[in-house]
Amino acid sequence: MAPHGEGSEEAMVVQDENRKPISSILIVIAMQTEAMPIVNKFQLKEDLDSVFPKGVPWVRYHGVYKDLHIDLVWPGKDSTLGVDSVGTISASLVTYAAIQALQPDLIINAGTAGSFKVFDLYGVGSRQSFSTPNLLKELNLKAGKLSTGDSLDMSPQEEASIVANDATVKDMEGAAVAYVADLLKVPAIFIKAVTDIVDGEKPTAEEFLQNLAAVTAALDQAVTQVVDFINGKCLSEL
């Protein structure tokens, strides 16, 4: 049993954190293609003196936008295969390392995703433990359940699980970021731009590549709107 008063003191600390203006944001992205428009929008600079362990390919850009310090990270390219290090393992590792090194007030996981319904320009969802009703209402963004898998394609078993959980979009990193954020008690929100219909007739990879440029531009716009809304606010105002 906890000592008398310990629980109430912890609750007060949480309340104080929720009422303090957000000063630092960590944006976690899967690929350079998705990241660079946001880097350019906020005029972020590459971290040449890396906060990450020596030898890892993880990339960090950082800078100040309005009243916010922004760190943007992605896993980089696999040193052996030369391809983007996408998927849950890479996402969880870079998220964990970034939280430990940078201690952000809030995480934004931004990226592309597949949808199961008619194309939407972009959508925003949040973990159940961190609600953002004012953000969703003000920016008129869609909220939905996000599912995550380590493949662009979807097996019948995955489809059944996704349908059973009433998910609306599927990505390759969101659940990993959510798990680490929850583990380390950092609030996180998720912004996903739809590139393809994962249960449609066209091959997923083909549709993903065709739509990537346009959807990345929409993602950049959505992230900018969200960051502008966050600026000057505390967590409880989101």
List active site positions. 34, 196
Residue with structure tokens 């349908």? 163
Locate 125 and state its tokens.
Answer: 């969802």
Strand partners, 111: 192
**What does the alpha-carbon distance between residue 183 and residue 161 come to, in Å, rounded to a whole number?**
24
Inter-CA distances, 218 with 27, 37, 38, 111, Å? 16, 10, 11, 10
Phi then psi for residue 51, to 5 deg, are -85, -5
**Alpha helices, DSSP H only, in 103-203?**
133-139, 156-164, 174-183
Closest by CA position to 30, among listed 71, 81, 90: 90
Closest by CA position to 30, among listed 64, 50, 59: 59
Strand partners, 72: 27, 61
Q: Are 209 and 138 in contact (CB under 8 A)?
A: no
Cα 127–Cα 205–Cα 91 angle in degrees, nearest 5: 35
Percentages (nearest 5) of helix, strand, coil residues in the chain: 40, 25, 35
